[in-house]
């Protein structure tokens, strides 16, 4: 029984590791080819697996795509939000978020820049679970930004309309992502960082 339990646990761990390997490779492929360019054949080949082995743990392709979106959102959180976890809420945290955000735009954990921006554009006109998932990811990130803006305002550290600042900061990041990925502007991340901090500075009392 001990042996059997050990074996089962080991199998479950291995199965979980396999799932993670598949999702990780799926994130990489989706970053370049899009979520609808995530095809099972090439994904299986890149992993040295069969198509059935790749799609099995997720039921079908859409199940895998959903896990890819979730994993990409986790990677965004790890890169942009977590580094400032111990920074004081409000304006200090906002400044730390800007720095991590622009660092993320420049040295992206994805091969093709901001996965969230790319998936937002790809999915915004295609109703379904994938679009719903991206809607959640984007609106939670914007809500998180807005929360720290309002905290900064309550502390008397910031003026202006919170939604304006959310749109400006978010827009600066999207524009920088275009400058880096499409236009090949290597200075764009630092440029965006300077712009974002200037917007904040301008709104201080």
Shortest Cβ distance from residue 194 to its own copies (Å)?
8
Number of residues that bind its own copies (CB under 8 A): 46
Site membership for its own copies, residue 201 (CB under 8 A): no
Report the distance separating Cα 80 and Cα 140, nearest Å: 13
**Upper half-sphere CA count for residue 203 (Cβ side, 13 Å):** 24
DSSP structure string for 109-166: SSTTS-HHHHHHHHHTTS-SHHHHHHHHHHHHHHHHHHHHHHHHHHTTS--S-HHHHH
203 three-state secondary structure: coil
Looking at beta carbons only, is 20 or 164 nearer to its own copies? Answer: 164
Which residues in the 27-46 window bind DNA by CB under 7 A?
A: 38-42, 44
Site membership for its own copies, residue 1 (CB under 8 A): no
Site membership for DNA, residue 62 (CB under 7 A): yes
What track of x and - describes contact with DNA for positions 4 through 23 (by CB under 7 A)?
A: ----------xx--x-----
Residue that has been written with the tokens 């993320």 in this structure? 104
Backbone angles phi, psi at 91, to 5 degrees: -60, -45
Q: List the one residue from 29, 65, 84, 117 that touches its own copies (CB under 8 A).
A: 117
Site membership for its own copies, residue 128 (CB under 8 A): no
Which residues here bind DNA, judged by CB under 7 A? 14-15, 18, 38-42, 44, 48-57, 60-62
């Amino acid at each position: 029984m001990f042996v059997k339990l050990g074996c089962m646990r080991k199998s479950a761990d291995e199965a979980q590791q396999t799932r993670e390997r598949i999702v990780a490779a799926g994130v990489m492929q989706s970053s370049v080819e899009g979520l609808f360019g995530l095809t099972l054949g090439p994904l299986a080949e890149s992993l040295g697996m069969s198509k059935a082995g790749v799609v099995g743990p997720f039921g079908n392709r859409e199940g895998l795509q959903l896990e890819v979106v979730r994993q990409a959102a986790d990677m965004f959180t790890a890169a942009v939000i977590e580094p400032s976890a111990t920074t004081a809420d409000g304006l200090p945290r906002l400044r730390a978020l800007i720095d991590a955000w622009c660092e993320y735009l420049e040295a992206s954990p994805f091969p093709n820049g901001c996965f969230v921006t790319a998936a937002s554009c790809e999915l915004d006109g295609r109703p379904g679970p994938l679009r719903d998932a991206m809607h959640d990811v984007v609106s939670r990130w914007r809500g998180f930004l807005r929360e720290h803006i309002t905290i900064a305002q309550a502390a008397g550290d910031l003026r202006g309309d919170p939604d304006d600042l959310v749109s400006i900061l978010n827009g600066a990041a999207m524009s920088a992502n275009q400058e880096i990925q499409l236009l090949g502007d290597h200075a764009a991340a630092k440029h965006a960082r300077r712009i974002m901090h200037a917007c904040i500075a301008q709104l201080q009392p």
